[in-house]
Amino acid sequence: MVQFDFSPEQLELKQNTNKRSIAQLSIFRIFSFFALSATLILTLSENFWWALPCLVCLSLFVCLINRFNQLKDQKRIYLSLQQLQSQKQARQERKLGELGAGTEFADKEHPFSGDLDLFGPHSLFQLLNHCTSAGGKLQLASLLKSAVDPKAAQQRREGAAELQQKPDFLRAMEAIGLAFPQGKLGPWKHWLEQQETQPNLLHLVLAILGPIGGVLVLLLTSQGIFPQAFLGLWFMLGVLLLALVFVPLKRATEAIPVASYLNSLRLRAAQIEDNSFQSDLLNAEQSRLHAGSSPASKQLQELDRLGLWTQNRLNLLYLPINLLFWTDFILFLWLATWKKRVGNSLAQLPETLENWEVWVSLGSFEVEVGHPGISAWSQEPILEAENVFHPLLLPAKAVANSLILNKDRKLVLLTGSNMSGKTTFMRTLGINAVLLNLGLRPFADSMTLGPLQIFTSMRNTDNLGESISSFYAELSRIRTLLQRLEQGELVFFLLDEILKGTNTQDRISGSEALVAQLLPSQGLGLISTHDIELAALGSREARVQNYSFHSEIQDQEILFDYRLKEGACPSFNAHKLMELMGIKFVPK
């Protein structure tokens, strides 16, 4: 099997060398084609002995084509490596605008994905996604939105940690996926699973008779023993007999993926087969590539040759050879044998490789932008985060904070001035909980999470089509939260600016009533509010803690330190912000 270069070192120099080699081979290939055409014409019109130099020219032409294709494939890989370097830099600098946002996976009804920047512009999906197929991206999105499962998360943690030590493997897998376009696999899977017309004795006899008869007819007509018309009769007989296998070969031609996609499948399968893994999940995924009689890469290499043969059956060079030697019968026998041997096992390969795209995303995330935080899982419903910060912020500029939630500290009332960091801190806790569930390390010194399901109510918007106001949308989210808690579910909730769509008096009384319902439940979480009156709950209830973010006004500027502080916020800045925006307050 051809070995490709996946190293990003001296990439520009290697691209220039590759470009020169392709240009030189193009010239040689043209000359060899003309030589092949000339010797073939001489063989058919002058003397059979011209067949020997014709075969030599054919062999040379095939070798040059193979080498040319290899160089073109290597060129694609170099271009992919260049793209990967650019994307890596964008992720590290948190300049994510050119990366796929995954907006098609956004779901505002989801328990948490719509509020935690999992999808859309400047999202976790952009930072995490290294998938190269639509199916892989769909699987990754499903994993991002999946319910918290501590056992599965710990198994994924083992796999991601192991892959972090294999950056060459991760780079090669992604570069191959980018280099070779991937099309629809529905027809191929259907063809693999479909019962094929089985070869019979007649097919076998014609597969043997065709080459032998073709050589004899060609030899005898070239020597004048048979008239030239006999060659035409042999061709006509071939047309009639080849109709026996025309339909199954036509189905195969339409179903077998193009060479570039087969390359993508084969090369990625070979990368997986050539590595050894210790993680249970990675071993299980790798074993699926050995489900057939031979490794998947070998099966695909054979299919690649079959595909090249089937897809070139009707071109002008192959057609006279087929009519002379009836080679379609050999192809039919080979194809039917291959399909019977490996069809069932190979049909699942695309889904297996999509799973590996998700693994590559997890491993590459840790290599490129991962933070060396310590993750831990507890059987108790707790959340402990030490110096945690948001992964979508530049680590050099992000401000880290710490928080502990448990059965004795179930609820945090978060107060603070506008733009001081309340919402960002809540999203920081939520998105890091998602990272732990993915099997990734937190953006924190350490983070411990219990078996808590994540639930948020932050970006509640109105819906004119359904005649739903933003206040009603928030109440619907809160009702869903309460229903889940009433069923005894363990929930980590994040409620931002609670009941902001109503008047102050109703908001305060409603918030107090909600807190009273939340405290006896199995949930714990944070509620942010601008109503300083709610802070009184912290003095009456030990399980309610007051925390806040502050701001400082200096001259005509508001300064924020984004540090979480114990206690309620002593002052707010809305009045000053409005003044800075040109809204003048008239003394009463």
Report pLDDT digits (tens) over 36-47: 788 877 776 766
- Within-domain flag for 4: yes
N residues, the chain: 588
pLDDT given for residue 462 in this prediction = 45
Mean pLDDT of 205-233: 83
**Model confidence at 250: pLDDT above 60:** yes
More confident residue, 403 or 181: 403
CA–CA gap between residue 447 and residue 384 (Å, rounded): 5
pLDDT given for residue 354 in this prediction = 93
Region of poorest pLDDT, from 13-17, 373-377, 511-515: 511-515
pLDDT given for residue 94 in this prediction = 95
Region of poorest pLDDT, from 334-343, 423-432, 525-534: 334-343
CA–CA gap between residue 575 and residue 81 (Å, rounded): 52
pLDDT per position as a tens digit, 577-587: 555 555 555 55
Confidence of residue 227 (pLDDT cuts 50, 70, 90): confident
- Within-domain flag for 568: yes
CA–CA gap between residue 472 and residue 469 (Å, rounded): 5
Q: In Å, how far are 51, 303, 423, 460, 499 from 530, measured between CA atoms?
A: 91, 66, 12, 17, 10
In the numeric block, which tokens belong to residue 398? 């992000």
pLDDT given for residue 580 in this prediction = 53
pLDDT per position as a tens digit, 168-198: 999 999 999 999 877 676 777 788 877 777 7
Q: In percent, how much of the chain has pLDDT > 70?
A: 91
- Within-domain flag for 275: no
CATH at 446: 3.40.50.300
pLDDT given for residue 1 in this prediction = 58
- Within-domain flag for 116: no
- Within-domain flag for 294: no
pLDDT given for residue 585 in this prediction = 56
Region of poorest pLDDT, from 137-141, 325-329, 385-389, 482-486: 325-329
Confidence of residue 324 (pLDDT cuts 50, 70, 90): confident
CA–CA gap between residue 2 and residue 522 (Å, rounded): 58
Mean pLDDT of 518-536: 88
* 524-528/557-560 β-pairing: unpaired
Name the average pLDDT for the chain: 86
Cβ distance 125 to 105 under 8 Å?
yes
CA–CA gap between residue 361 and residue 434 (Å, rounded): 15
Mean pLDDT of 60-89: 91
Mean pLDDT of 303-332: 81
Domain boundary among 25, 56, 90: 90
- Within-domain flag for 161: no
pLDDT per position as a tens digit, 100-124: 999 999 998 899 999 999 999 999 9
Domain boundary among 72, 90, 108: 90
Quick one: CA dihedral 547, 553, 558, 560, positive or negative? negative
CA–CA gap between residue 77 and residue 15 (Å, rounded): 10
Number of domains in the chain: 2
Confidence of residue 249 (pLDDT cuts 50, 70, 90): confident
- Domain range for residue 82? 1-90
- Within-domain flag for 190: no
pLDDT per position as a tens digit, 444-475: 999 999 999 999 998 765 454 443 567 777 78
In the numeric block, which tokens belong to residue 123? 């999202």
Q: In percent, how much of the chain has pLDDT > 90?
A: 48
Q: In Å, how far are 96, 271, 516 from 80, measured between CA atoms?
A: 18, 16, 56
**Model confidence at 575: pLDDT above 70:** no
Cβ distance 378 to 448 under 8 Å?
yes
pLDDT given for residue 49 in this prediction = 74
pLDDT per position as a tens digit, 153-171: 999 999 999 999 999 999 9
CB atoms under 10 Å from CB of 59, counted, come to: 12
pLDDT per position as a tens digit, 337-388: 888 877 677 878 888 999 999 999 999 999 999 999 999 999 999 999 999 9
- Within-domain flag for 25: yes
Domain boundary among 90, 105, 136: 90
Q: Which helix (H) or strand (E) holds 72?
A: helix 51-92
